[in-house]
Structure 1
Amino acid sequence: MHSTPIFQIDAFSATTFGGNPAAVCPLDKWLSDEQLLNIAAENNLSETAFYVKHAEHYAIRWFTPAVEVDLCGHATLAAAYVIHHFEEPSQQQITFHSQRSGYLHVNVVDGLFALDFPTDQIEKTDLTDLLIEATNARPIEAYRGKTDYMLVFSSEKEIAELIPNLQLMKEIDARGIIVTARGDNQDFVSRFFGPAVGVDEDPVCGSAHSTLIPYWSQKLGKQTLTARQLSKRGGELYCAHQKDRVEIAGRAALYLRGEIFLPEY
């Protein structure tokens, strides 16, 4: 029997029971893809991050309960929290490398974890019947990024009260559907639905902000922005657009620290 540490971190929240919970599993070496997916499914959180330490960086991968994904913001923030608090507390910049998304840096400043992610390349697309019928409100614009669709609505109230058609969303060829509008008290608000990858609604989706930030930066004529995800748990994000990169910053809180036990590998 082999044991490995596990942490559960509430990302994009200063306190537990807010933001987006992610599991983090530090590993000595990679397990098989089947084992990684089994662990993520057992955790039954929107994301589990696994990392292996190398000389100059941490190799990282992310899994939902159903699939491996190309990029995950809140689980990267959670992994950086674990490294900063339990492995290298003096480290103010933590570098990850993903085979799917390249190098990702997280800077730690006064309790904020700032993710440095690539900017998504988005293109305006037609409002198809499928996209219109995916929710109970009518979007005013639609965009397609690398992995997601983004639907823009007229008001924060529409986002807060929006009801997704999750079965219909599964038919859309995308990781997920981002819905967004200008905020009443923040620059913009959003929600994220990913039933096709086993996540009906992600409480706070960091990677979706690589799509949201360039759109709202251009729309509002601002380089730095504040954002809130309007899920039941909610989450606060501090954002900046830097041409081909975006900065997505937030706080995090430790909920759980323990061990999981696996067959020998």
Structure 2
Amino acid sequence: MRIRIVDAFTDRPFAGNPAGVVLLDSFPGDDWLQNVALEVNHAETAFAHPLPAGGGADWALRWFTPTTEVRMCGHATLATAHVLHSTGRATGTIRFATLSGVLTATVAPDGSLTLDFPTAPLTPVDVPEGVEEALGAKILAAFDTGPDVGNPVMELADEQTVRALAPDIAALARTAERGIIATAAAQEPGGGYDFVSRCFFPNSGIDEDPVTGSAHTALAPFWSERLGRTHLTGLQASRRSGLVQVTHQGERTLLTGRAVTVIDGELHA
């Protein structure tokens, strides 16, 4: 069967966030799905199969990190939609049945893709003991993001602090339940992005996620409230880097980006 590696939230190879994409006739056992994700060893591998016509969704979609299944993943959904459109398996808006409900992906004439995801609820919380020390930076405020995103947003002082983070990953794994989303406002407004972020998820097998679509369902309402605008652009300042355009629409958040296929091969398993 075919397996593809797609770089998501970028328009060039070797940037953004790579995701494995495997299109199936049906889902095999979970052990097989997890083993393939471990073999691919990217932040997530997406598995999808078509659903009968006339239902509430067009494709079933699941996402696995190298160690576990996750409830929501933006970049691997973008990557899957890119594969379906680029291979002619789908046109127009695609409806995916997932653990987070029905999610849609729509392609624009310029080739960009827009995901329609539920907005993450933000609830102020105390910073867990030891997280600040593990992160190596002062945390100004922390917010729970609900079960789908599952990682708290933590506001830091400024963009430079976010970019300079070099957390103790082992200590972060001990003190953070799953991981953290670190964020700050852009240092220079008008520079092409409005806020920056970095995401560390050691307890999901991901020391640092290059570009995290699902995190932006929490970052969108967070920065929309602070900056007074509903249309924003986030820069995830990992080594690979990537841009996520967000539109906060109350209970829903739109995530827009591009994707490029870098590997198209055969899976012999």
TM-score, normalised by the number of residues in structure 2 = 0.93
- Alpha-carbon displacement from aligned partner over 1:160-212 (angstroms, at most 9, x marks no partner): 00111211221245332100000133211000001001000000010111111
Equivalent residues, number: 257
* 1:73 aligned partner: 74
Q: Does 1:155 align with 2:162?
A: no
* 1:167 aligned partner: 170
Q: CA RMSD in A?
A: 1.1
Q: Does 1:47 align with 2:44?
A: yes
- Inter-CA distance 243–41: structure 2 relative to 1 (3 Å threshold): same
- Alpha-carbon displacement from aligned partner over 1:131-165 (angstroms, at most 9, x marks no partner): 22131111111111121111101111000001112
* 1:196 aligned partner: 203
- Alpha-carbon displacement from aligned partner over 1:36-55 (angstroms, at most 9, x marks no partner): 00000000111000001012
* SS, match of residue 171 in structure 1: helix
Aligned-pair CA distance for 1:20? 0.4
For structure 1, list consecutive stretches of 5 or more residues without a partner in the other structure: none
Q: 2:254 pairs with 240, 247, 251, which one?
A: 247
Q: Does 1:213 align with 2:216?
A: no
Q: In the alignment, is the contact (CA less than 8 A) between 1:27 and 1:52 conserved in 2?
A: yes
TM-score, normalised by the number of residues in structure 1 = 0.94
- Alpha-carbon displacement from aligned partner over 1:10-33 (angstroms, at most 9, x marks no partner): 000101011000000000111100
Quick check: which one's strand share is greater? 1
- Inter-CA distance 135–173: structure 2 relative to 1 (3 Å threshold): closer
Q: In the alignment, is the contact (CA less than 8 A) between 2:104 and 2:115 conserved in 1?
A: yes
Q: In the alignment, is the contact (CA less than 8 A) between 2:124 and 2:143 conserved in 1?
A: yes
Deviating beyond 6 angstroms after TM superposition, the runs of 4 or more aligned structure 1 residues are none
Question: What code does the residue aligned with 1:117 have?
Answer: F
Mapped partners of 2:248, 2:175: distance in 1: 28
Question: What code does the residue aligned with 1:181 have?
Answer: A
Percent pairwise identity: 41
Question: What code does the residue aligned with 2:130 have?
Answer: L
Q: In the alignment, is the contact (CA less than 8 A) between 1:137 and 1:162 conserved in 2?
A: yes
Question: What code does the residue aligned with 1:126 have?
Answer: D
Q: In the alignment, is the contact (CA less than 8 A) between 1:149 and 1:174 conserved in 2?
A: no
* 1:20 aligned partner: 17
**More divergent stretch after superposition (29-38 vs 127-136):** 127-136
- Alpha-carbon displacement from aligned partner over 1:201-237 (angstroms, at most 9, x marks no partner): 0000101111111111111111100110000000011
